[in-house]
Structure 1
Amino acid sequence: MSLCKFYGYWISTALLSVLYLASAYMYATKGKWVREALTELGYSANNLVPFMVIVKVLGPLAILSRVSVPLSDLAYAGIFFHLLLSGLAHIGVRKPAGALPAAVGLALLATSFMTQNDARDMPSPYVQAAAL
Structure 2
Amino acid sequence: MTQSYVYWISTALLSLLYLASATMYLAKRAWVVQALTDLGYPGYLVPFLTAVKLLGVAAILARVSAPLSDLAYAGMFYHLLLSGLAHLGVRELRGALPAVVGVVLLVSSFATQNIARETPSPYAPFAERQTSLN
TM-score, shorter chain, exceeding 0.5: yes
What's the CA shift for 1:44? 1.1
Matched residue type, 2:28: K
Match of 1:60 in 2: 57
Structure 1 runs of 4+ off > 2 angstroms?
Answer: 128-131
Secondary structure of the 2:49 match is helix
- CA deviations 1:32-68 (Å, max 9, x no partner) are 00011111101111x2000011011000110000001
Equivalent pairs counted in the alignment come to 128
Match of 2:37 in 1: 39
1:7 aligns with 2:9: no
Mapped to 2, the partners of 1:22 and 1:36 lie a distance apart of: 18
Mapped to 2, the partners of 1:61 and 1:128 lie a distance apart of: 22
Q: Give 2:81's match in structure 1, choosing from 84, 87, 93.
A: 84
Matched residue type, 1:113: F
Q: Which has the higher contact order (CA 8 A, sep 6+)?
A: 1
Mapped to 1, the partners of 2:18 and 2:67 lie a distance apart of: 20
Mapped to 1, the partners of 2:58 and 2:42 lie a distance apart of: 27
| Runs of at least 5 residues in structure 2 that lack an aligned partner in the other structure | 129-134
In 1, are the aligned partners of 2:121 and 2:127 still within 8 Å (CA)? no
